[in-house]
């Protein structure tokens, strides 16, 4: 080729290369329909031929948890850059703008049963049918409970959950491996409220090994009488308030924006929020973006189901205040799960405490192949995935385990 043509050719090659990679990094929107007729959304970072990962959010969250607008904290983009075909599933009533899943008409009274019997099967089938490969499940927080229901083949019989061994075997054939991060297996803490007088919280370390606020709320029966009658828990409105375009208000907009930003930066470091994350391991901008774009209405029945899990230390089906004698316990199927499972816990997680994950998850999955446990130092419930140390302490170890399984 003549020298004068080399430079233009190189420029064209560079443009094509970067445009292809840029377009590959743009998410695709896919949908699927559940057996009860809801259209769910998936955000896909496509890597045709790459190993498919179905990534599922936890309680009161959505796809933004995995795909932070602060790009260096996006686990989804990191996985995609490693060659994985990344599908982020949004459960019913959840999803960021452009990737929102439908909600049932009427009250938001869904529970883990709806997620496990309807939503996750539809999401898994969509990914497998699109890729023609077995799927690796990656879930945060409540997603671990949903995965258990799916792997037990749970279905609704007269409105109540029941396991189906045949369905369970079929579901297991679709799954290559499972990763749960900060999974809700057993909601318990070393420092318990009932032992407050003889074993009180004496220092900050004790505080991190307790959750008196959650235990007290679970015992406050009047709260649950009221919430049972509610149609929704509008946590998502907080995000709408935070997302108000204050900067566009004439004359005082910039001042309001700075005051608002400063307020949230200060609030992000308080003990109240330490229950959700380790503030020293969390970029305040990530916290703000999470509050603006990822907070979802979990629904009052799902919240009460978590309350019941705190009181019983079990993963029971939803019930209101009094547990039926025949209430289905999702944990009974744990010893039947044989797919490889990785359990990831945050050292400073005050919601899904490491001991609950170890005793309720890792030890009970005795038949799971290549099961492993990773404790992420200095990580809380949220920052275990999108914290300052997540790339080195969570992302890379998780990818190494997935590659090996």
pTM for the whole structure: 0.90
Asked if 109 contacts 300 with a C-beta cutoff of 8 angstroms, the reply is yes
Confidence of residue 244 (pLDDT cuts 50, 70, 90): low
- The sign of the torsion formed by the CA atoms of 317, 318, 319, 323 equals positive
pLDDT of residue 13: 44
Q: Which has more pLDDT, 249 or 146?
A: 146
Mean pLDDT of 375-385: 98
- Residue 232's CB is within 10 A of a number of other CB atoms, namely 16
Helix (H, G, I), strand (E, B) or coil at 331: helix
**pLDDT per residue as tens digits for the range 92-107:** 999 999 999 999 999 9
Whole-angstrom distance between the N-terminal and C-terminal Cα of the chain?
Answer: 48
Q: Which residues on adjacent β-strands are paired with residue 181?
A: 140, 344
pLDDT of 361: 97
What digits encode the pLDDT tens for the residues 337-378?
Answer: 999 999 999 999 999 999 999 999 999 999 999 999 999 999
Position 1 pLDDT exceeds 60: no
What the block records as the tokens of 77 is 């983009």
The answer to whether the CB of 218 falls within 8 A of the CB of 227 is no
300-331, pLDDT tens digit by residue? 999 999 999 999 999 999 999 999 999 999 99
pLDDT of residue 235: 74
DSSP letter at 51 equals: P
Assigned token pair, 91: 């459960």
Of the listed ranges 11-25, 261-275, 303-317, the least confidently predicted one is: 11-25
Q: How confident is the model at residue 239 (pLDDT cuts 50, 70, 90)?
A: low
Backbone angles phi, psi at 192, to 5 degrees: -100, 150
Q: How far is CA 79 from CA 103, 184, 216, 297, 360, in A?
A: 29, 23, 39, 28, 28
Q: How far apart are CA 369 and CA 339, in angstroms?
A: 6
Rg for the chain, CA atoms, rounded? 22
State the pLDDT at residue 396.
Answer: 99
Q: Going from the N-terminus, what domains does the chain have, and what CATH number goes with each?
A: 27-188+295-404 (3.40.50.1820)
């Amino acid at each position: 080729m003549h020298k004068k043509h080399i430079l233009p050719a190189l420029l064209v090659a560079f443009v094509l290369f970067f445009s292809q990679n840029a377009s590959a990094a743009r998410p695709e929107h896919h949908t699927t329909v559940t057996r009860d007729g809801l259209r769910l959304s998936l955000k896909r970072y496509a890597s045709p031929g790459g190993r498919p990962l179905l990534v599922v959010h936890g309680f009161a969250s959505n796809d933004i948890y995995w795909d932070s607008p602060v790009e260096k904290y996006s686990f989804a983009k990191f996985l995609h850059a490693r060659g994985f075909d990344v599908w982020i599933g949004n459960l019913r009533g959840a999803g960021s703008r452009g990737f929102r899943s439908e909600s049932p008409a009427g009250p938001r009274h869904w529970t883990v049963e709806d997620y496990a019997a309807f939503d996750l099967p539809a999401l898994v089938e969509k990914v497998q049918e699109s890729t023609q490969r077995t799927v690796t499940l990656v879930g945060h927080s409540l997603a671990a409970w949903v995965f258990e229901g799916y792997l037990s083949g749970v279905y609704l019989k007269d409105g109540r959950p029941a396991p189906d061994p045949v369905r369970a075997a079929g579901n297991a054939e679709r799954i290559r491996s499972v990763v749960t991060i900060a999974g809700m297996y057993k909601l318990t803490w070393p420092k318990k409220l009932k032992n407050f007088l003889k074993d009180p919280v004496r220092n900050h370390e004790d505080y991190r090994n307790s959750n008196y606020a959650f235990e007290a709320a679970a015992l406050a029966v009047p709260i649950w009488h009221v919430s049972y009658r509610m149609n929704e828990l509008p946590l998502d409105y907080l995000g709408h308030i935070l997302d108000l375009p204050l900067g566009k208000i004439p004359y005082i907009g910039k001042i309001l924006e700075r005051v608002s930003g400063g307020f949230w930066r200060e609030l992000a470091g308080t003990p109240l929020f330490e229950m959700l994350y380790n503030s020293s391991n969390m970029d305040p901008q990530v916290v703000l973006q999470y509050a603006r774009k990822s907070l979802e209405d979990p629904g009052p029945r799902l919240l009460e189901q978590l309350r019941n899990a705190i009181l019983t230390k079990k993963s029971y089906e939803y019930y209101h205040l009094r547990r039926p004698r025949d209430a289905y316990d999702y944990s009974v199927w744990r010893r039947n799960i044989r797919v490889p499972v990785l359990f990831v816990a945050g050292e400073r997680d005050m919601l899904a405490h490491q001991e609950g994950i170890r005793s309720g998850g890792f030890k009970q999955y005795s038949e799971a192949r290549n099961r492993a446990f990773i404790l992420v130092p200095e990580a809380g419930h949220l920052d275990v995935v999108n914290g300052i140390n997540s790339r080195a302490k969570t992302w890379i170890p998780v990818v190494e385990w997935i590659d090996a399984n």
